[in-house]
Each structure stands twice: as structure tokens, then as C-alpha cells.
Structure 1
Amino acid sequence: MIIINDDRLINLKNFNVIIILFATIFGAMLIVFSYFSYLLFHNTASFFIMILGILSGAIGIISYQNKTKNIYSRLSSSIIIYSLLLFVHNLSYEGIETISFLDTNVSNQFWASANFILALGVLISIFDIKNRVSKYLYIFLPIIIGIFLASSIAFGQFPELYNEISGYSSIRTSLISLNVIILLVSLIGLVIQDFKSIRKANRSFIFIVLFWILSQILFIFQTELEILTTLAIILNYTAFIIFLDRTIVLNFMLPYNKIHFISIEERNRLSATQSIAHVGTWELDIKTKKIWASDEAFNIYGLTITKDHLVNLEDIQKIVIPEDRQGMDTALESLITKRIPYDMIFTILNHKGEYHHLNSVATLEVDELDNPIKVNGVIHDITDLRNEQIKLKHASTHDFLTGIFNRRFYGEQIKRLDWPKYLPLSIIMIDINGLKVINDSFGHTSGDNVLIKVASVIKESLSIRNSFAARIGGDEFVVVLPNTDNKECHIQIEQLTNVINNEKVDNITLSVALGMATKNHEDEDIERVIKLAEDEMYQFKLAESSSVRNKIIDALLTTLYEKDSISEEHSKRVSILAKELAEAAGLSQAKVQEIALTGMVHDIGKIAISNDILNKKTKLTNREYNIIMTHPEKGYKILHSLGGMDVIANHVLQHHERIDGIGYPNRLIGNQISTEAKIISIADAYDAMTSYRLYKNSFTKREAINELKNCKGSQFDSKLVDIFVRDVLKKK
């Protein structure tokens, strides 16, 4: 909602008070005159009524010409003719007789004519609700009738209304009665319209017509007592006061206020629109160096809005940052002197301590001699847009996760740096070891933290001018070192390796594979150099794969043991029991070592299961047990992603399968299960039965052996159970 509060709007209440005060003063004066002299009262009152009528009529005609159509504007011509005829009536009134050849009869004839024109005008004006009658008819019809009646009076054709012997004639009474009837019909029409809410603005006109009717009735019953005539004139005077008040309010004050209201409303809407769009307008007076600025322009500049909306050009120039000041001044001078278009983007530091990016466009205004007089411009706060552009530009060249440059930037920059002045140009390729395992085992948040950490270390290590690092793949980075020879590049690699190898994320010691190559001559192909760096990195990765894998397994097991304190001792015991069973079964030494390692990592999949489930003190629910049953698959996925661990990963996947085919996760049966997995299954089950658990009591050795024997051929391999009981457990 737009609230208008402007001292240029006309206060209608104050005007009404003035009208009432004016009417009261002059009304009191008329009453005083009537006490001393009826003649003085009559002519003064008639003069006031005439003045009121002419003023009302003039305002009405002017407003009617301006298409303000209402009952007051439609009646304006009739009111003026009434006032003019009343003026002639006063000039010939008995006791005044300013015009000697006009007598009392003629005076009454002009008075009757005036009242007839007024009554007829009221009737037509009231019933023309939809303004269908031409405005020219309203203007000229009273004039024509007035001329006709005045002519008939002048040529003695108008009926006699008064003579010296018999006084007022019956014709006068008939004419007044006719006026009363016309006005009564008009009054009824007004009341009906008001009842139907057709013209609520006409309600005050009901009182005006009522006063005219009462005034005419009093004139009908006029006697030698002057009190009735006095009261009739006062009623007529009151009606004309109200008529003037309504004419001014409806035909002048309200239209003015409406126009001004619309102007203010449009200005406020423009201001609101500017505020939403962060666009302001300004005008520079070239002579005074003063700027008129809109509200939003002040807000954009961070200045307090002045009453006259003026600010010195110098005050604006002061808040422009030094880097942009000269360019802005030059552009403004070029517009004024050379007519070069003004379109500037500059930054200000406003009085609130805020930086804002602004775009200002301006045109030159000249006088009739083509001399520049004013600069008209708009100012647009493009801070948000600029910041978004900066963000988009940053996003287009930077990796969203690590914050360092991305592959696109690398591709563009490597072409820019492939230039003789940057030789020798060294490339370092970096690959994070085991990132997939970290994601699968510890979750993608840990994987992301590893990427962020490695990127941070790489970025902080860069000290060579124009060098940069970029993430060019999921786990791959590149470092580009202009003007760096092979020796310096090796030093850089050693520094990177030392720092990275001492960093940890979630129990994971960071490990990377690095490779490098240097372009020393202009004729060398940069793509070939990059390929050499990649090849060296992959060779390094293969050479260190076993060491890296072991580090990752150690980190995974450490994390598992922190999550589940029982798992560490359980895994060690399972590994020992499985190894002894493999040896007793006559498997090769390689197989024995393979089974021992499988025993250590058989529960590694539990690393991806919630601590709440792993450490629950009560019996697991079906849902929780189903989650626990996923650990062979999770373990398989982790070990498989390490590379070189596929065989062990397969044993881990099968170690909860059963001979009878109702195990999990794949319901394998009999010989579909590897011997290694069968061995782990027996060792795991025995240790689980004989070890303490939060949710159950442990078995004795004898009870555990009986359970193993009971499950021969169904859960466990019969031959392996016999070997385990006979050759492994008896020794213990």
C-alpha cells in the first residue's frame, strides 16, 4: 500500500471550516442589516447570492470544459444566468431603482424568470444521470431561455406580476408554484438516486434543493411582514453557500488532489520500482556542479536523502574508490566536451563502509544554442550481479570441492604457458592412492576431506611465480611450474611427498603417487611432456602399490578396532585358528598365509556399520541383524577396490555361506564355497562361541566342539570340522 502524505494536497476539512466561518460571519451581518433596514438586507443578501452564483457557475463551466461532469458543473450556466437576472432585479428593486425606466413589476418579472431558469436547470441536471445531454445544451439553453424571457419583459410580453393598486398577481403565485413543483420533482429524483446509491456525492444537493423549495414557498405566502421574505432570502443564501462549497470541492479541489495524488502515487511507484531494481536517476547541473538524485540514487550512494534531493558532485566523487575516480571524471568530461557516450562501471566505498559496484549511464542535455546545460543519468547498483558474475567466473575455473583450479582452467593455462619465455616448463602429476577404498570404507565425507587436505598441501607448497595447481580428475591433480628446471622440480616433489606423508585424515595416512616431466626446448610437444609425467606417476603407483595397500588395510583395521573393541582380539584369534587348521589340512604355505590374512580382515566390512549396532548390549533386532549380515559384501567391496586383493576379497565374501546353501549373502552350496572360506567359517564360529559377547554367555570348549559336530554337513564342512577338533583343538 502506498501512503500519500504531502503538504501540497488541499485539506478539505480546513476548507470546509473556512466556508462555514465565512457563511456564519456574513449571515450574522445580514441578520444585523435586516434589523436596521430591510432594503439594505435585501440588496446586500442579493448581492452576496449573485457573487456566490457567478463564482460557482464560472468554476462549474471551467470544470465542465475539463470533463468534470457532475450536477454542479451541469447547473453552472443556469446559476450564472440566474445571478445576472437577479442583478437586474436588484437594480430595479423598489427603493433602489438604479435604472429609472424599470419598475417593481419588471423587477419581479426578472426575479421570477431567474427562479424559473434555476428550477428548470435543476430538473434537467438531476435526471441526466448518465451525462447524455450535450454540454453545449447545458451551457447555451439557459442563455437562450434567459434572453427570451428578458426580451419578453423588455417588449412588455411577459405577464404582469405586480401593480401599484392590487399588489402581487395570481400569475406570480402560479409561477412560484410551478417552480416549487419542478423543484419537488427534482428533490424526489434526488432522493431516489441517493437511495439507489447512484450518486452519493449529490446528497448535499438534496439540502440545497430543499432550501430553494422552502424559500419559494415562503415567497408564495409573502405578506406585509418582512420576516418571511427575510427568512426566504437567508435560506436562498444558505443554499448558495453550500452550492459554492460543493462546486469548489467537487470541481476543483478533489480533481486537483486526485491529479496530485496520482502524481505522488506514480512517483512513489517509480521510487518503489527503482528500489526493487536498485536503479536510481540523477541530473547534474553543469553550471552549479550540483546533482539532483532520486531516493534510490541516494540509497545506492549511501547518502542521507536531503529535502531538496540535491548533493554536490564533489561528494559523489569522494566516495568513488581511487582506482576508478580518474576514469569516471574523464568519462564525464568526454561526454560534456566531446559528446562521447557515458557508460561507466565503478566501485564506491559509501559512508556505511560498504563496497558497491555501480553502473552509470548518462546523456547530455543542451540548450537552443547547443550549449551543454545538464547531464541526465541512471545509476544501477550491480553489486549482487557483479558478485554473482565473480562467483560464476570462479566456479567456471575452480574445483567446487577443493577450491583450487579445475581441468578447464588447466587446459587454458597450459596453452598460455606453452611459450618460450616460460621455459623450462615442468609438470607434476599427482594421484591419491586408495581414494576409492577410503570412500567405500570411511564414507565419501572422509574421501572429500582427503581431497581437500591434499589440495591444501599442494597449494601451500607453491612458491614459484605463475605456478598453479589444478584438480583434473576424481583423485588426480596437476602442478604446473613455469621457468622451473628438472632439478627444481625434483625438490618440489620431495617437499610435497614429505608433507603429504605426514598428514592424516580419519586414521588414514595420506599417500600419493607422483610423476614429473620438463619441457626444456620450444620444439618439444607439451602433450608428450604431460604424457611422460603421467607415465612416471603410474610407474610409481605400481611400485608402491603393496606398501600403500598395507597402509590402507592397517588404517581400516585401526578404525574398525576403535569402533568395535571386540573385533581386534577376535580377528587375531580367528587368523591363528584358521592358519593352524589350514596347516593341519595340508594346504600349501602360500595358502596358509593367504588364509591367515583373510582371518585378520574377514570382518573388515563392519567398518561401514553403525557403532550403535556393533556395540549393542542386548540382542539384535531383525532389522539390525540384517544390517550385520551385509558386512561380507561390504568387506568384499573394500578389499576388491584395493587392487591385488581379489582372492582374499572373495574368501571374505563367502565366509558366512553354509554347506547346505542357507548361508549369506549368495546362498552358495557345497563345493561352490572355497576351502579358504570354509576354514574361516569354522574358526570364526568357534571363537564366537567361546568368546564373551555383550548379548550372550560364552560356550565351554566342550560345548563349542559339540556344536561344531552337530552342524557338520549342514553349516560346516564335515572333513574340516574333524581335522579342526582332532588336530587343532586337542593341541590346545
Structure 2
Amino acid sequence: MIPIRSEKNSFYLPEKNARRLATILSNTPAIIYSYKMIDGKKTITYINENVKNVLGFEPQEIIKEPGLWTSRICPEDIALVENIPEVSDNEQPVHLEYRFNCKKGIRRWLHEKQNIITNDEGETEVVAICWDITERKLAEKLMQARVNLLSFSYNHTLEEVMQKTLDEVCNIVSSPLGFYHFVGDDEKTFTLKAWSSATLELYCKMKERSGMHYNIAEAGIWADCLRARRPVIHNNYASLLHRKRLPEGRVEVIRELVVPIMRRGKIVAVLGIGNKPLNYTDQDVQVVSYFADLAWTIAEHKRAEEKIRYISFHDVLTGLYNRAFFEEEMQRLETGRQLPISILMADLNGLKLVNDTYGHEAGDEMLKTVAGIIKKSCREEDIVARWGGDEFVILLPQTSEEKAGQIGKRIRSKCNSAYVGDVPVSLALGVATKEKQSDLLTDVLNKAEDIMYKQKLAESRSVRSTVLNTLLKTLEAKSFETGEHVCRMQMLAWDFGEKLKLPESEMNRLSLLVTLHDIGKINIPEEILTKKEPLTEEEWEIVKKHPETGFRIARSTEEFAHVAEDILAHHERWDGTGYPQGLKGEEIPFLARITSIVDAYEVMTNGRPYREKMSPEEAVAEIKRCSGTQFDP
């Protein structure tokens, strides 16, 4: 019989069951051991075979060396173990948790439950059951670190979140070295986003900080994870033949673990840690990968928040502040501390004409050009915003009206020397100033706006004329539509109009139409306009769009709007086979019919590189021949 005692009760186990008990104890997933206190020292009297599976020690190693167990307890936890109540004074189970350094150097968390056994002679012995709770502790750490990171991310920048991530993962995996890089869309470059705090303090005694850009092809061993597209462990860094010399100021790397972060099949970032006292394991890969992925998810949210915040206060096209932000700043500055406060309003001239002539992309380019000029002409403390459409506004704290006027002149001067395509940039400006506390900035804004509109009205005709002349000169330079061609057409049109006894108003209108009839060709590539060979079908389709472009250009300016319909129709044919609308007979505006005849006669009698010239008689005969089909009979 085998005597068994548990707490205050004792009983005997039949000897025939001894082997069964030994088998149970050996196969239990827990470590079971017993010890006595001899001369004040913990002396282990029994330990089951599972200690080898969990901690790496043979049972006899533990039993023969009395101090071995205690010496392997983590120094930070030894006081907890040594300060438990004396077994003789405490008959209730004792629970404690501590870290244990295994034989192979791995550290494990143990949860130990101790019970007292007393034999018939009154001797006490402690039976302890230890469970390996390493994974549970790791899960708890991961959950707490996740909570810490998410909470931290609410009120900190993206770079600070990245560093906090590294600090958390380095703490869990016992690695003083940590870095986080963002990878470029082409997966050929990367950007340093953060070092861990310990890295900055202990390892990077150099000027390498967040924002540095690198070429992946020139990167060191840590970039193996990018090349292999998987996590990489280097537990013997010094033995790697392809390692590079570390930059001056760097402490030696002993071992490292680097993991890539993948999104939609592309590597978007990498997180690396290094110099753990022990070798990195697959479990470390899981932990680091978890944090790397979590950090990227937070980064995506942070960047989305920053983008929304940016859009809410900025104009997307120009990058300037928007109207909502400007109005908030006006309210903020409605105090006496910033007096005098000036407001400068600016309106971009000719934007509609540019949009109609070259398309909205050219108009957008003009807006961005003006925005850049205004921004560079102002001080850092000035608030520059796009007010809406083609209008800009500048808030100038502590700026007199005279000083604001000088800024306005500087802006206009720079704009006058700027071009978008062939169109000169021009602004109308208005300036007003808040001199007294009682003045309202809204009234100052309205005053500046009124002054700007008066200037725009006074200069509008001149501006449009300048733009139009620029377009005509550009067209002349890139095509056969020379100034002589237009002059000859005007003379022919005048003679034609007199023969028809047109009133003076119609004669003037006809003269303007002849001048502008081909203005829409401004958008046709020069190689098509000057081509001597027959046009291809695709090229001909491009040419046929010029009446519509000319129509939009003329309609966008008040002085030329009354000939827009005639410009649109000057390539229509009497039989309805013309373009762009397929008008027929008298559906075609009268002056457009005249222009069609005059244009054809001038081309035939003066020739083109692609057509020999005719005599006046031959030209008249050709026009008569086409009467009723192409021309008005």
C-alpha cells in the first residue's frame, strides 16, 4: 500500500494502482512536483516527467540540485515566490504566477497552485501543480497593447503611432531595435516612418530620422523580406555574407526579424526588430506580423482622417484654403489684436474663354497657376483661399491698406508675365482694410469685392480683346490662316455685302464673322493644319470640330456672342451635307452662307500648299457649279 495524504485527510492507495498513478502523473499536461522545507530551504522531493517537455530539464536534474528551480525563476518575479506564506501557517491553496527561464533559454510563464499534505507523524509537504500559461499571457499582452495603440492613435500623429507600435512590440518580444518603413507603390523605394524609442536612444547616434527615402535595390539584409516577400529571421547576423557595412553611428546588429505588410498582393510596409537576447522564433513572427498589420490598419485610418480633415478646409484643385476655412478665420481674427487687417479679393479674367477654347483642363491649370503666384507673393501668416469659381481672397493680418496694395501689385505683375498655353494670365483686384475695432470684416470683404468688380468691368473689354488677339496670332502662327488671308476675306466680304446692300450693322457683323470664323482651329494640332497630303478620316473628324469650338469661344465673350451662331454654321452646305449640324437651305444663317462663299473664293484664288490657285474666272465658275449643293444659289 502507498500512503497518500491531502490537506487534513489521509488514505492509502493500493500498491497494484501505483503504476497507474505514475502513468497519470507522467502524462498530465501540467508539471507536478512536491517539496519540503528543510533547514529553511525548498527541497524538491518529486517532479513528474512532463517537466522535460515544458521546461527542458530532466526530473533528476531538478531533484539533485536543490537550488536549481529557484535560480531559474525570473529575477523580477523571485520576490513574489519567496514571499508566499509559510506552508505550516497556510492550509489554503496558494496561487502564484511567475516567469521561468527554461533550459534552452526560452522564458515561459507558469501558473502554480500549491497544496499542503500532512502525514501521520505531522510532517508537512507541499504538492504544486504548474500550468504553462505563456500563450495566455502573450494573448493578454497583445490585447492590452492593441488597446493601448488604438487609444494612443486618437490624439497623436501617424509618426507617433508608428513609434508607439514599435515600442509595444519591442517590449513584448524583448527587442531593443525596431523600425517601420512605408514601401512605395512601385515596390522599388521605401520611406523611413519611425524608429523605436530604444533605437533612437541606444542605436541611432546619427541624423537618420523619419521621412528619409531609400532605394530598395541598395538596401541591406533587412530588405530580404521584400525580395522574398515573406517574413525573414536572421539569428546569426554576423555570418551572413551579403550583409553590408553599417553606417557610422550604428551599434552592431546581432540578430533581426523583419516582416512585410501585404495589401491586395502588394507590399506596403515593413516592420523590423532586432537584438533580442535569444533567437527569434516562429511565435515572434506571429507577434510582429500582428503588430505590423495593426499599425498599417491604424495608418490607413489616420491618413483617411487627415485627408478628410484636409479636404474639409482646403480647395482640392489649388491646395489653397477653402471658403469655409476662410470664414472661420475671419471670425477668429475679428479682434483688435491684429489691426489693421486688410482683405484682398482677386478675380481671374478670361477663365470661361480658356475653358471654352482649350477645355477645362487648361482652365484648371490657369487656376493652379494663379493660386501658386498668389501663395508665393504672400507671407506665411497670410491666409490665402479660393473663394469660389475664378475668385480668390487673401486675409492679411497687421497689414495696412497701402501695404496690401503693394502685395496686390506684386501679384498682378507676376500674373502679367505668366501664360497658360498661349493665353496671358490676368487678374482684377480689390483691396479694403479694417482700421478700427468697430469695423466688421464682412463689410471689409464686401468693399474689397465691390472694388474688384468695378476694376473687372472697366478692364473686361481690354482683357477679352487681348486674349482674342493672342488666339488669332497663335492660329496664324500654326496654320495657313495668315493675317493677309483674313484681310483679303474682309475686303471680299465688304464688297459682297455692298452688292447685297446690307445695312451697316450687318456689314460690321459680317466683318467680325470673317475675322473670327476659323478661331476654333486654335485647338487643332499644327501638324494637321499644315499637312500637305490628304487628311486621314480621324484627322478630318478633328478638323470638323472647329466650328463648335469657335462657337463656344465667341459665346463666352459679350462682344462676340452675336456672331457665335454664324461661326457654328459657316461650314454647313446648302444641300444639308455640311457640318456640324447638317443644316439645309435657309436654315443656315445668311451671313454664314456669305462667309462660306467668300472663304472658298479666297482659298481658290490664292491657293494653299495642298491646292494650286485658280484664276478669278475659274473660281467663280467653280462656285457657280457648286451652287445649290454647297453654296446658296
| TM-score, normalised relative to structure 2 | 0.55
Q: 2:178 aligns with which of 299, 323, 326?
A: 299
Which residue of 382, 386, 400 maps to 2:316? Answer: 400
Measured in 2, the distance between the counterparts of 1:65 and 1:388 equals 52
Aligned residue number for residue 501 of structure 2: 586
What one-letter code is carried by the residue in structure 2 that aligns with 1:609?
Answer: I
3-state SS, counterpart of residue 578 of structure 2 = coil
Amino acid of the residue matched to residue 441 of structure 2? I
Q: 2:373 aligns with which of 447, 457, 460?
A: 457
Matched residue, 1:692: 607
**1:643 corresponding residue in structure 2:** 558
- Structure 2 CA distance for aligned equivalents of residues 554 and 55 of structure 1: 113
Q: 1:523 to 1:696 in 2, by over 3 A?
A: same
Question: How many Å separate the matches in 2 of 1:421 and 1:281?
Answer: 44
Partner deviation per Cα, 1:32-77 (whole Å, 9 max, x = no partner): xxxxxxxxxxxxxxxxxxxxxx999776342455599xxxxxxxxx
Identity %: 36
CA separation of 1:282 and 1:545: change in aligned 2, threshold 3 A: closer
Give how far 1:600 is off. Answer: 2.0
Count residues in correspondence. Answer: 414
Counterpart of 1:500, as a letter, is C
Instruction: State the 1:428 CA deviation.
Output: 1.5
Instruction: Find out whether 1:62 has 2:25 as its counterpart.
Output: yes
Asked if the contact 1:639/1:649 (under 8 Å) is kept, the reply is yes
Residue 173 of structure 2 aligns with an amino acid whose one-letter code is S
> 1:238-253 alignment to 2 at 5 Å?
none
Q: Deviations over 1:334-374 (max 9, x none)?
A: xxxxxxxxxxxxxxxx979xxx9x9xxxxxxxxxxxxxxxx
| Partner secondary structure for residue 178 of structure 2 | helix
Query: Computing the radius of gyration over CA atoms, which structure comes out larger, 1 or 2?
Result: 1
Aligned counterparts, 1:372-383, within 5 A: none
Aligned to 1:472: 387
Contact 2:551 2:568 in 1 (8 A): yes
Quick one: distance in 2 between partners of 1:301 and 1:636?
A: 58
C-alpha displacement of 1:408: 2.1
Separation of aligned partners in 2, 1:67 and 1:260: 10
1:528-607 equivalences under 5 Å are: 528-566=443-481, 569-607=484-522
Q: Contact conserved, 2:493 with 2:514, CA < 8 A, in 1?
A: yes
Structure 1 residue 599, shift from structure 2 partner = 1.4
Mapping for residues 409-428 of structure 1, pairs under 5 Å? 409-428=325-344
Q: Distance in 1 between matches of 2:404 and 2:166?
A: 55
Residue aligning to 1:482: 397
Distance 1:684 1:301, change over 3 A: closer
Q: 1:611-659: CA deviations, max 9, x gaps?
A: 4543333323444434322221211011111233111222211212334
The one-letter amino acid of 1:468's match is I
Query: Post-superposition shift, 1:424?
Result: 2.8
Give, as a single letter, the amino acid of the residue that structure 1 aligns with 2:413: N
Aligned residue for 2:405, secondary structure, equals helix
- Alignment of structure 1 residues 213-292 onto 2, 5 Å: 279-280=165-166, 292=171
* C-alpha deviation, 1:456, in angstroms: 1.6
CA contact (8 A) 2:476 2:483 kept: yes
2: CA distance between counterparts of 1:313 and 1:536?
57
Q: Is the 8 A contact 2:205 2:250 kept in 1?
A: no
Corresponding position: 1:517 with 2:396: no
Counterparts of 1:683 and 1:317, CA distance in 2: 81
Once the two structures are TM-superposed, the CA of residue 269 in structure 1 deviates from its matched residue by 10
Amino acid at match of 2:23: G
Q: Tell me how far apart the structure 1 counterparts of residues 544 and 600 of structure 2 sit (CA, whole Å).
A: 14
Cα deviation, residue 550, structure 1: 1.0
Alignment CA distance shift 1:417-1:664 (3 Å)? same
Q: Is the 8 A contact 1:292 1:311 kept in 2?
A: no
Cα shift readout 1:246-296 (whole Å, capped 9, x = no counterpart): xxxxxxxxxx9xx899899989999x9999x9635659xxxxxxx955267
- In structure 2, give the amino acid aligned to 1:473: G
Whether the 8 Å CA contact 2:176–2:199 is kept in 1: the answer is no
Report what 2:568 is aligned to. 653
Q: Is the 8 A contact 1:598 1:648 kept in 2?
A: yes
| AA at the equivalent of 1:579 | W
Q: Distance in 2 between matches of 1:319 and 1:395?
A: 36
- Equivalent of residue 596 in structure 2, options 651, 667, 681: 681
Unaligned runs of 5+ in 2: 1-16, 32-129, 150-160, 182-195, 210-248, 252-268, 272-290
Q: Check the 8 A contact 1:471/1:477 in 2, yes or no.
A: yes
CA-to-partner distance for each residue in 1:544-575, whole Å, 9 max, x for gaps? 11111111112222332343245655444323
In the alignment, the residues of structure 2 paired with residue 313 and residue 510 of structure 1 have an alpha-carbon distance, to the nearest angstrom, of: 50
CA distance in 1, matches of 2:495, 2:447: 48
1:1-57, CA deviations, whole angstroms, 9 ceiling, x for partnerless residues? Answer: xxxxxxxxxxxxxxxxxxxxxxxxxxxxxxxxxxxxxxxxxxxxxxxxxxxxx9997
- 2:230: which partner in 1? none
Distance in 1 separating the partners of 2:607 and 2:541: 22
- The alpha-carbon deviation at position 602 of structure 1 amounts to 0.7
Question: For residues 313 and 351 of structure 1, do their structure 2 counterparts lie closer, same or farther at Cα, with a shift above 3 Å needed?
Answer: closer
Look up the SS of the partner of 1:421 in the other structure: coil
Shift of residue 431, structure 1, vs aligned partner: 0.9
Q: 2:348 aligns with which of 416, 427, 432?
A: 432
Write the deviation string for residues 188-232 of structure 1: whole angstroms up to 9, x where unpaired.
xxxxxxxxxxxxxxxxxxxxxxxxxxxxxxxxxxxxxxxxxxxxx
Q: Would the aligned equivalents of 1:560 and 1:606 in 2 still touch at CA under 8 Å?
A: yes
Coordinate RMSD, CA, aligned: 4.7
Match in the other structure for 2:533 = 618
Between the aligned partners of 1:493 and 1:310, the Cα distance in structure 2 is 49
**CA distance in 1: counterparts of 2:558 and 2:617, whole angstroms:** 41
Secondary structure in 2 aligned to 1:642? coil
Secondary structure of the structure 2 residue equivalent to 1:472: strand
**For the Cα contact (< 8 Å) 2:177–2:199, is it kept in 1?**
no
Contact 2:475/2:481 (CA < 8 Å) preserved in 1? no
For the residues of structure 2 that align with 1:295 and 1:609, how far apart are their CA atoms?
68
Mapped to 1, the partners of 2:502 and 2:360 lie a distance apart of: 40
Taking the aligned partners of 1:295 and 1:596, their CA distance within structure 2 comes to: 87
Q: Is the 8 A contact 1:598 1:652 kept in 2?
A: yes
Give 1:577 shift: 2.3
1:702 aligns with 2:617: yes
Distance 1:56 1:564, change over 3 A: farther
2:363 is the counterpart of 1:447: yes
Q: Higher helix proportion, which one? A: 1
Q: Could you say which structure has the higher strand fraction?
A: 2
Q: What is residue 344 of structure 1 aligned with on the other side?
A: none
CA distance in 1, matches of 2:427, 2:197: 65
Contact 1:618-1:694 within 8 A present in 2 as well = no
How far 1:605 moved relative to its partner?
1.1
Amino acid at match of 1:689: M
Alpha-carbon displacement from aligned partner over 1:70-115 (angstroms, at most 9, x marks no partner): xxxxxxxxxxxxxxxxxxxxxxxxxxxxxxxxxxxxxxxxxxxxxx
Matched residue type, 2:310: H
Q: Amino acid of the residue matched to residue 60 of structure 1?
A: T
Q: Give the conservation status (yes or no) of the 8 Å contact 1:573–1:687.
A: yes
Give the CA deviation at 1:673.
Answer: 3.5
Find the aligned partners of 1:664 and 1:282 in 2 and give their Cα distance.
72
Q: 1:265 to 1:701 in 2, by over 3 A?
A: farther
Contact 2:342 2:434 in 1 (8 A): yes
Asked if the contact 1:575–1:598 (Cα under 8 Å) also holds between the matched residues in 2, the reply is no
Aligned counterparts of 2:197 and 2:565: Cα–Cα separation in 1: 83
1:704-723 to structure 2, matched below 5 A, reads 704-718=619-633
